[in-house]
Structure 1
Amino acid sequence: MYKSRIADKLLSNQLEAAGVVLIQGPKWCGKTTTAKQQAKSVLYVDDPSTREANIILSESDPSLLLQGDTPKLIDEWQ
């Protein structure tokens, strides 16, 4: 069960204002969990089951990776 965070309202406001938000912080602090509350679709870049397909798509037509409802969470993109 998700527990509301102070950052939820800030994230919502920033998404409305800019349309994109970079969330940074230490591992396991809740970045992805918090972002998923606002996201309408998710791309897990480092998912082993889709990693090869993601690489192929990124090389041939990166816009295909961005398809889906917005706001879109792109997790572990670095």
Structure 2
Amino acid sequence: MDENKLVMVFKNTLGNSFSITIDDPRDDLEEQEILEAMNLIKTKNIFQPKGYDLAECVSAKVVDSTITEYDLAI
């Protein structure tokens, strides 16, 4: 089974990193769309990790992973 995740990384006003992960992003997602979404999240102050505002959009990446599950029932 394959899984894709969009990982967006921000820094808060203390300089601590904060990540938001989105499962199964669109295949045709473009960099500009991600940047606009991250800026909207920061500007609207939607999240306040540990009570501090987001101050900076740091990075974004799509992570592709393959998951192999095993039935270990004995």
Q: TM-score, normalization: structure 1?
A: 0.26
Structure number with greater CO (CA < 8 Å, separation at least 6) is: 2
Structure number, greater radius of gyration: 2
Name whichever structure is richer in helix by fraction: 1
Name whichever structure is richer in strand by fraction: 2
Q: TM-score, normalization: structure 2?
A: 0.27
